[in-house]
Each structure stands twice: as structure tokens, then as C-alpha cells.
Structure 1
């Protein structure tokens, strides 16, 4: 380890802040080169702190300090110390006092997009996690909560709109011809929730009446010319506000709720109190510019950020180790919202697919950490799938164990106890345990232990006694820093499906009356056994229905059992899961045959299943689209787990795709024609489901060697009146070396070259192509006029898509893909360390690759770690990935 390596911050070292701040007053005079910030803090020593003599330490980065005062007295340089990261005042008065600082920052130089920055003429802030220290000197930690008053002064022409948290209380002109607006947020908040936006923006306005009869003004601010792309976002916001009132009893608390859409943003969105800042890709939508997936993401992310008003803002985190307390809980809430707005079955499939694609590999690799980490070097690196997606699964497990009514009682108690506080995971679990009447003492291990538990299940039917015995055990492999794992509390929903395809009543030994047809069993020991009586015929077990726990299930089921379940299981998730298990088994065998140089069987049984589902007209189209999809190449690589040969995986999957296309062609073509939507475009679930199934059929048809599918895709591209169908068609063509591909890409570019969001789609389509020249094309596109390394969306759409989602071409056998991405990480690290660190996720699977690729990936990681002046963000991820 180098002597200058950053030192970790540890949960066990937490101490309360030495000082409390009752009120913050900010006077901000905007200027691109030197924004002046006059900060007034009403302070006192924190009565909960054990350190009564500590000096006053204020965080500050990239600032120029002009003046420091205490109770109106200017401090000389002998009374404080100043470094690149801290202002330390050696002595302060006993009791309460007022601290004033004047400092400047340079928004136009801020390419990291943390703190206050200027992009496309718009001033914007991003303060989570530690960006406020780039605006002013402050104890920048989430457990310092204060009431904020903010005055913003700016040029009337360049910044006619001046926004901050809370309610507007005053506005006017200044003597020098500029103007100002004053804002007051009456609810105490930590500095990471502070927000400021200023610029020449258009607004779209609406109203919402709360359940208590208060009228709230709703405003969405966008760059001028985009007003016609805000309608869906506004409707989604109103649906979210109503749902939170009905489902959780949470009413909005300010007079105004604002959203600002900006084009340069490190994240998807940010829940700043009363002033949410969004990446504009999650606000702007029209049928000709946004896909069904875009509309669904807009609805979900607007809901997520709005729900943070209570789970994140009114109750915030005591420290950043408790990040899952707001993020995991709020992800669970937005998942439930989407399930109620759309298809619950499809949403569950989508969430589990995301969990397995991103969180399971994280849990199984060198970056594994508990849902509540115990240490970090750079907090920005812990906005992970484990904190968000696995954190949501923990909340879902509690919901499963308690049931909806008792879970609501627990949540009500949590809100009642901790409103206005910076809380901990223990606060949350204690309230849920008491309110829902649950024992969560063992369950807490889910927050403390990293890794994905594996549940082993085996069943035995006794025809003579008419009993079915189910045995389950659990094991969790060692992860970094945690070699030995204690048993988890794992809720497992199960059903028994009879030969007639119907669920059987589940009656355990000792029970008098027949039980429900789905029951939740609680696996709390390393091994447990349950015996069901009155089972008249041999069943097929349907295990982990609804995916009631984030575990890997290994059951003694055979191929015929999966075929049976995917046709008959009453649990939609498990029908999909059975289809995936069946396809995965086929493909894994085919991969081994391809590696050995043989000709694999082509999976006629799966093609028959696809044909039957497409012909079953009562099946929900969106669900049908999910169940007939093959597992992705990335998913297969994870399941294979070691000595991964990406070429063999790609070849095997293509062989099966072609087989399905040929054997089920009539059903695919019939379904494609039948699913055509002839009505005017709507992003609603019914239409979106039809388009999803139709475009899945198109992708299969284009895999057939007869070329008919290519012509069909080209025709759909030309005729499509919405972006969903147009993107589906051009995506199909992008993987085929044909003249139609070049024509479609050129036509798409010419039509949308002035629309930055649509151009991101164009970049992504080409980055994901399986064709051999993809890397060269990606390199060429980094010089396209619409691409810039300074905009995270551009980087993610082109380089990120290639690195993280194009398994075949990123893992080029000669290592060219690795070298290219590593070079871009180092280039990006000098501009935006957060985005650079996230790009490194593409290397996290290096140990699973076959030896040649493994060595090449390792070499690039070592090269990155060896670079002098590396950011904490990139150093932490690269060094831990290598460890």
C-alpha cells in the first residue's frame, strides 16, 4: 500500500457532531468565475456530543476564503487554520454564537458536477453526498440538520429564474440592476439536501390538492423549447403524490413542489427538499422521442424522488453508513408504486433481473459489502446495487413477513417517532418490529453480512402416507472481511402444484384445517424440514414464489419440472423463473459443447414452449414478452461463474435464437401482426405490453437465416410513428451486416442530430452492436460533434454501454476493449471522478474470465492503480477490484 493511499472511514468510529446549527442563512451572488457566498450560521455546542472542547471544524473544498467573523468580529489569521479541505477555528465562545464566512467558488470550472456548477448556461447544484463543502464552509455531514434561508442574486437576463429549497418569501431588484429571490425552508435538513438552480428556464405549472385540502403548486422547469415534453412527468408526479397519501398516509408539506431538468448531471435525479433536480432524460418525453421504457423510467424515478420527501428528507440518515435507510426503503416504495400503476408480475421480474445482473455479482466479488457498510474511502462509491436494490429487498422481506396492514402500522410508528431526525437502521427496525409485532433481531443480519445466501431445497413425496417432506438449508460463502456467516432469517413462499396444474392446499403436520395454497416458510436455522399432510398426488414444488428473499435457490428439480411449472404455475414470477431455468440449462450445456468444438442440440422443447405462449391469446402480452426471452449473455456468464468464454456463450445463445426463429416462425409472425397497435400512441401498460411482445417477435424473426426478418425490421423502421418501434427496429438491424443497417443509422442521425437525448440512443445502439467493427466505431464516435467527455449522459450512452453491456466486444480476446475503457477511465478521472469510478464496474468480473482474458483485465487494473494523482473514487474501486 502506498503511503499516500486514502484512509477508510469506519462506522465504529462514529461520534455525534461537536456543534449544532439552529439556522443557516445563505446570501449567494452568482457569477460564472467567482460566485460569492456569504454564510451566517447560528451555532452552539451540541449537547449530545461527548467532546466539549473540540475546535470548530468546517469542511470546504475548491473555495477561496475571503472573511471569517464570530459575533460580528473579524477573525485574524492567527485564530484559524485553513487547508484544501477544512477551515479550523481554534476557539469559539461558550454558549450560542453566530459564525459568518464569505467565500467564492468557480461554477464554470466545476467539471466534477459536485457542489455548484454551470452547464449550458444553467447554474445547478448537486450536494449529495459531500458537495455542499464546494459551495461554502460547513460541517458537511447528514446529522447536522438546520433550517435554511437562502437569498440568490443573479443577472436578470441570464438567470431570470432563481430557485432554492422551500417556499419563496421575497423577490425584487438590486441597486446594480440585478435581481434576487429569497427562499425559506421551514423543515430542518442536512446540507446534502440543499439545492440551487438558476438560469433562463421555461416552466410548466399545475396544481395538486392534498388529502387535507391544501393546494400545492407544481412546477417543472426545463430548457426553453422542451415545454411540450413535460406532460407525462407532471401526471406521474400527481399520481405519486396521491399514491403516497393512500398507501402510506404521507402528505406533501410545502406550498410548492418543483422539478428542474438539466442535461449535465451525475445521477438520475436528486431529492433536494421541495426542489428535485433531474437528469432531463428522466423528465422529457414525447412519443417520437421517448420509448415505452423511457416513460416507465420517468414514472418510477419521479415517484422515487418524491417519496424521498418523507423517507430521506423528513427522516434522513444519521451518517452515510445508513444510506440504505433512505435509498433501500424508497426503492421499495417506488417498486410498489410501479406495481400498482402497471403489471405487478412484470415489475417483479424486472426488479429481480436487475438485482441478479448487478447486485449478485457485486455480492460475489471483491467489492462485496453489507447493505449497511462498515467502512468506506469515498462515499460516492457506495451508491451501489447492494444499498439500493438489495436494500429494497430487505424492506420487501419485512413486508412479506408482516403483511400489508402490519407493515403500515410499523411505518406509521417510524414516521411518528423519527420525523425531523437523522435516524439509523436500528431506529427503523425497532419501529417496524414494534408496530408490525415482529421479532427482527435475527433479521438484522441482512444489514450486517455481505454475500448472497444459497438456499438448497429437496423434496420427497410419500405416496403411502400422502405426505410431502420439504428440506431446506442455507449457506453463504465468505466475502471480503467476513469469512464466517451466521444464519439469515429467510422467508420462502412456496406452493405445491398437482398433476392437474392446480395448487394444492398446504397443511403442515399438527394443523387441523387445510392451509392456504401459498405459504411463507421461515428458514432461520442452517437446516430445517417441513412435512405437509393430505397431499393426494405427487406434486411439483413451486419454491420462492414472488422471489420472497434475495437468495440463490438450488432445488432438485428436473427439466420436465421446469417445463411443467412454466406452463401451469399460478405464481407469475415462478412461471417466468421456470422458463429461465429451463433455457439456462439448455444454454449451459450448449456452451460446453461449443467449447469442445461440437454441434449442440438446438432446444426444440423451448421453441415449442415459445410457440405455445405466443398462441395463448389470454396471456398478458407484456408478461409473454418476458417469458419467451432468453437469458442474456451476461446472465449466462454469471451462472457459469468461472473460466468464462464469452465467444462460446455468444455462439450458443445465437444457435438457440436461430432455432427458435426457424421452428416457431409461423407463431412469431402471427403474433407480430396480431400485436400491432393501430390506435394513437399511449405509454399505458396495455399498449406498451403489446409493443413489447411484438418487438420481441421481431428480434427472433430477424435471427432466421432467410432474411425475411431483416426486411420486416427495415419496413418497421420506415413506418414507425413512435420511438419505441423505431428503436426496436434499428436495434435489430444494428447486429446485422446489411445495407438496411447503414441506411437506418444514417436516417436516424439525420433526423435527430440536434436532439441530445435521442442522440444518446443512437450512440448506445452502435455501442451494443455484436458486429466485429464495434470497438473501432465506438472510438470513432468519441470524436462526433454530439459527444463530449464532460457530459455524463454521453459517456454512459457510448463508453458505458460498450463496457458494461456489450459482453462480446468489450471482452475482445486481444484486450483492445479493456485498454480502450481503461484509457477512458483515466481521462475521465481528471474531469469527473464519480463517473470514472462507476465505469470501472466493467472490470469487476475479471476473476471469472478464462485465463487469457483474466490476465489482460488484471493488467489494466494494475495500470490504473499505478497512476499518480488518482482520485479517491477511482483508487478505491480499482484497488478493491484487484484485491
Structure 2
């Protein structure tokens, strides 16, 4: 707060820096790799969707009707990624020098993002003029990578092609500065020393390449056999990367990559390829058949006792339905849900014994250890809980018994809420109802915990989701006048429960539009925030597009709209 923003357009100057700082603190306190995975998964699911929608805007917006609409993931999360890229380009020491100069130079002043970048330039003797496009160009850049190997010359080349799709602010985009951290793996999975053409000797096994042109090629020398590239290590830039990995190469990277983030990323890419194959099978009306390589890969991870349990938990997590929607040209909600549930079912069946063993071992420690807010305990509980969520897919009595035991006898909210969520999504109606009643009775005087109770039920993908949400709106603990309650119930339903919200009859859309019209008079800011799922109407099939667009038009015609709601609806329809 000693250096503040000159005007609202500079909001990310403070907020992007703060989110970055918070992430670094959490990474130092716990697992750096797991923290990075969590942040990137959130960014790619939610901020990338914002960048691809009608409300896309630069990290430093050029204009706004209502500033409250710009407390966004782009300003905060993407803003943090921009700060992170500065550090990646300058190195930790260079970034610290720049930060020290920035605070020394501007203490007690109100400044701009240009002043922040200028301090980084002056402290390090570099020119970041082109880099500043990250602040004034909206959208998520696409980075396509191709390879070529010349065995005779022992030279391996990577060609990068960058482009950024049209966004509401502008059609044509100039090339960004994209820092690509990478390594090259040999046939045994070892990192190769990296020597670029023109260099006298190799420097390290991980390098940061600065991609600054629309198309740019880098050639490595002294490569005796064709390697496998490990690209964008640590997710060094907020871009959509594509490289033609096949499934065997992805399995190899999962097992051997020295970069923890990229081991997870290889697993995610493998999962996406397998899930997209299942989605295609569902759309064609074929019987679903899961590629066994995914089971093999996850079984290997599950059996690796030397891996951090938190890392195992992350690698077992399939890409979510929202992310699968985000990467689809046209999102088939029903096929995505069916494919992902089928994959979870198959994993649970084929890896049941391994999942059960890991669950039992971790739960045993939990039963005999008092709750401690420490990284190793977080890790143990995260693996225990994801194992339980898979195990319930089996519907076995022993899993129900274990879930009830965890729900009733755990000493922390993490385990209790997971057990409740597993029960809420299970076929065991009587046990589900009793657990919900018990939880509500116990925590009825704790509003924040009751928000979790609402969210768990709103996000349940079992049939009848909208009816459950409408019934919960009549609960004494719910009120439309409390933004937290609205986010917990309505937000969770529309944002997380895609298969129910996107019901083919449009009932979810009508429900949300009615709520937005009502909230417009009560709290315009929360009303505009709840609109986000409807603003992405172009992502879906023709029938759903018509229904979603119709609800936006109905909101627009509903009377005196606040500037908050009007800006979002009008831009969505433009």
C-alpha cells in the first residue's frame, strides 16, 4: 500500500503483484509444484474462459462503464502471471533488484504499470517495451510448436508460432514476449545439456527462450539422438500451448520429466486426449471404451510411494468439465459429463484395490493424529480424499461405511466436507439425507460453513439439480440479500454444475435470468457477476445458443438496468 494506483485502469499494479506475492508465500510454505498446479488449473479453467468471452479485456483496461465489473480474474490472476513472467525473464535476483528500485523510487506515490516496468528495466539494463503488450492486449495467445531433427548435424530445432484470437477490444494483435522455459529429454528420461546455435558451450539443462516474433526457430547443437521436449516448464507463460505429443510420449513425460509441473501437465494432456476420444464415442452413439494407457499411467502414479502424496492427488485428478468445455470448439455438455463420469467409473473399478489401500493407510494416520495445519498433513488428506471420491464410484458397502466413519469421526472441515460431498453425489439417499441434516444442525450458527453446505448440494450432478437449488432457496439460512449466499448456491449451480445448469429445455437459463433481474434491484454488482455463465453462449450448440441469447435479451428488456448489469449484457449480445 506504500505505492498505490494513479487511476482505476492501473488496478493490476497492486492486485496482480499481491496475487503473485501470495502465491510465492504459499509455495514456500507448502509444495511449490502443487501450488503452481492449483493456480494454473484455476487460471486455465476460469480466466482463459473470460479471455475468450465478450467481457475479455486487457490486464490494463482502456475503458469501462462500471469499474466494479473489472475486479476480474484478468486483472488479478492474469496480472499475477504478467508479474511472474517479468521474474522469469529477469531471474529472481534481477526481479528483486527491480522491486527494490520500484519501492525506493515510488514510496508514497500513486503510479502506473509503466512505472513498475520502468523500474525493472532500469535496475537490469533491459528493454521491456514489447513485453508491455501483456498489459494492453486482451486474449490468450496460442503457441504452436513444431520440431525438426538433423541427425548428421546433431541439431534439434523447435519452431514457435504465436497468434492471439480476436477479442472485443481489437482484431489484430502484435506478437507478445513469451518466456518459454524448457528442457530436452533423452531416451532414458535424462535432461540434456542445452547449447543453442552460436553459443560456445552448453549452459544448464533448463533454459528460458524468449519468443518475440510471430514465427521463430531455435536450434540446439550437440544433440546425438532425437530428444523429447519438455515445454513451458512451470507454466512459464499464460498461453495455450500445442505440440503433437502422442500418448506414449505423454506417459514417458509423466514418469521421467524432472519438472514436477510438466509431469502433471503430461498427465492432464493424456487425460484430455482420452476424454475427447470418449466424448466423440458418446456423440456418435458408440459404446464407450477407455484407453487402458490412462489406467496404466494412473496406476503407476498411485503405486509410487516416493512421490509427494499431494502430487499424487493432483495427478489422479481428471480435467474438470469446465476445462473440457473451455477447450472445446462447440461444447457438448452431456457428452462431456458422460465421458468424464465413465472414465472415473473405470478408474475406480480397475484401481479399486490400490485406491482402497492408499485411502485406508492415510485415514488410519488421520484417525491417530491430531489435526495440524502443516504441509505434510494437507498432502495426506488431499490423497485420502480424492481416493475416497473415486472409491464411492464403486457403490460398495465398505466404501459407504468408510465415508460415514470419516464424516462422523474426523476432527477437521477438510475431511468432513469431502465425506459430505461424496455422500451427496452417491446413490445412498437415506445416508445422504441424514448427513446433510446432521451437518446443518451442527453448523447452523456458522454462516460461512453453511455456505459450504449450500455449495456441496448445488454442485451435485445427480438429476434434479435445479429443483434442489430452488428448494434450498427456501431454507432459513439462505437470503438473496447476502452475496456470499448467492455465490454459494446460485453461483455454484450455474458455474460448477454444468450438466444440470445447461439442461436442454433451458430451465437453468430461465432460472438464472430471473435471479439476475431480481438481484439487479438488490445488488447490481453481484447480479453482474452471476451473469458470467450466460455470457459464454457462443460456446454451445445452436439450440442452447438460441435459449441463452434469448434470456440475455429478456434481461436487457426487463426495465431499468444498473450500469453493472447493462455493461455485461450489452457486451455479451454485441
| Contact kept? 1:371, 1:448, Cα under 8 Å | yes
Alignment match, 1:515: 203
CA distance in 2, matches of 1:412, 1:511: 32
Residues 1:778 and 2:466 aligned together: no
Alignment match, 1:824: 515
- Quote how far apart the aligned CAs of 1:705 are: 4.8
The equivalent position to 1:460 in structure 2, one of 133, 142, 148, is: 148
Matches within 5 A, 1:397-436: 397-436=85-124
- Quote how far apart the aligned CAs of 1:460 are: 2.0
CA distance in 2, matches of 1:865, 1:683: 48
Alignment match, 2:551: 860
| Contact kept? 1:459, 1:556, Cα under 8 Å | no
Residues 1:576 and 2:267 aligned together: no
Alignment match, 1:637: 325
Indicate the structure with greater strand content: 1
The equivalent position to 1:791 in structure 2, one of 467, 473, 482, is: 482
The equivalent position to 1:686 in structure 2, one of 367, 371, 376, is: 376
Alignment match, 1:665: 352
Alignment match, 1:740: 431
Give CA deviations for 1:442-490 in whole Å, capped at 9, x if unaligned: 0011111111111110112233332211111111111113111111111
The equivalent position to 1:869 in structure 2, one of 540, 552, 560, is: 560
Residues 1:331 and 2:22 aligned together: no
Residues 1:445 and 2:120 aligned together: no
Alignment match, 1:655: 342
Q: Which has the larger radius of gyration?
A: 1
Unaligned runs of 5+ in 2: none
Alignment match, 2:541: 850
Matches within 5 A, 1:82-231: none
CA distance in 2, matches of 1:708, 1:848: 42
CA distance in 2, matches of 1:765, 1:410: 44
Alignment match, 2:224: 536
Q: CA RMSD in A?
A: 1.2
- Quote how far apart the aligned CAs of 1:529 are: 0.9
| Contact kept? 2:65, 2:563, Cα under 8 Å | yes
SS at match of 1:634: helix
The equivalent position to 1:564 in structure 2, one of 217, 241, 252, is: 252
SS at match of 2:487: helix
Matches within 5 A, 1:383-402: 383-402=71-90
SS at match of 1:365: coil
- Quote how far apart the aligned CAs of 1:542 are: 0.2
| Contact kept? 2:142, 2:241, Cα under 8 Å | yes
- Quote how far apart the aligned CAs of 1:652 are: 0.5
CA distance in 2, matches of 1:733, 1:851: 36
- Quote how far apart the aligned CAs of 1:537 are: 2.5
| Contact kept? 2:158, 2:218, Cα under 8 Å | yes
Matches within 5 A, 1:251-290: none
Aligned length: 570
Alignment match, 1:695: 385
| Contact kept? 2:121, 2:127, Cα under 8 Å | yes
Give CA deviations for 1:19-54 in whole Å, capped at 9, x if unaligned: xxxxxxxxxxxxxxxxxxxxxxxxxxxxxxxxxxxx
The equivalent position to 2:408 in structure 1, one of 709, 718, 731, is: 718
CA distance in 2, matches of 1:610, 1:712: 23
Alignment match, 1:608: 296
Give CA deviations for 1:818-839 in whole Å, capped at 9, x if unaligned: 1111111111111111111111
- Quote how far apart the aligned CAs of 1:707 are: 5.0
Alignment TM-score, normalising by the size of structure 1:
0.64
Residues 1:585 and 2:273 aligned together: yes
Give CA deviations for 1:773-814 in whole Å, capped at 9, x if unaligned: 221111111111111111111111111111111111111111
- Quote how far apart the aligned CAs of 1:845 are: 1.7
SS at match of 1:545: coil
Alignment match, 1:548: 236
Alignment TM-score, normalising by the size of structure 2:
0.97
CA distance in 1, matches of 2:72, 2:142: 21
Larger RCO (alpha carbons 8 Å, 6+ apart)? 2
SS at match of 1:507: coil
SS at match of 1:443: helix
| Contact kept? 1:497, 1:541, Cα under 8 Å | yes
Alignment match, 1:833: 524
SS at match of 1:508: coil
| Contact kept? 2:395, 2:427, Cα under 8 Å | no
Indicate the structure with greater helix content: 2
Alignment match, 1:728: 418
Unaligned runs of 5+ in 1: 1-312
Give CA deviations for 1:64-110 in whole Å, capped at 9, x if unaligned: xxxxxxxxxxxxxxxxxxxxxxxxxxxxxxxxxxxxxxxxxxxxxxx
